[in-house]
Homo-oligomer: A and B are copies of this chain.
Amino acid sequence: MRYPNGKPYTPASTTETAGNKSPEYARRGMTLEEDLNQSNKYYLNHGVAVIHKKPTPIQIVDVHYPKRSAAKITEAYFKQPSTTDYNGVYRGHYIDFEAKETRNAASFPMKNLHAHQLLHMEEIQRHGGLAFVLIRFTASQQTFLLDATHVLHFQANLDTYKRKSMPLPYIEEHGQIIAMGFAPRIDYLKAVDHYYFSHL
């Protein structure tokens, strides 16, 4: 099953149980989304933050109501998300981000971010929220936090950069690498602390 953007669909059930797997097994072929769901659950259960992934937007066309059983959706289609996938509250701040994986070894294709998602991140910053993108390079298993400012700057200067993919050095220079662990599997809020709050 695939999202409109071609990203493989992960059933909620899989994601729900991801956190219960042994570390050895868990680390094998875990997607960034699974790592984030496990980490967000960890943050919630440990009183660190309240951050959730938004449900996949779906256009419902037809629903049946069988007697003595749950309503069954029989025709529906994936809709293009108009916001980012994750948001919540951390240390009194509104947090909003998109998480993307790329198989590219040395750059992140900007086409992975929709125009309305970039606009959304710009709006979030204008209203005092923290907006960023989590980018994972699946080949090296390196994951970076990149503040929306740098994503928007690159997007606004594609002609100057003469390319539609953010080079890894640009991400390394302006972003914050995220340590991988077991609990939480991906401690991206530590990167948030370092990037946004280290001056406090």
Contact = CB atoms under 8 A, between A and B. Distances in A.
Contacts of A95: 94
Nearest to A82: B52
Interface in A17-40: none
Contacts of A79: 12, 55
A50 interface: yes
Copy tally for this chain in the complex stands at 2
A104 interface: no
Given A60-B9, A73-B76, A92 B49 contact: no
Given A1-B60, A9-B60, A127 B72 contact: no
Interface of A: 1-2, 4, 9, 11-13, 44, 47, 49-50, 52, 54-60, 63, 65, 70-79, 82-83, 87-96, 120, 123-124, 126-129
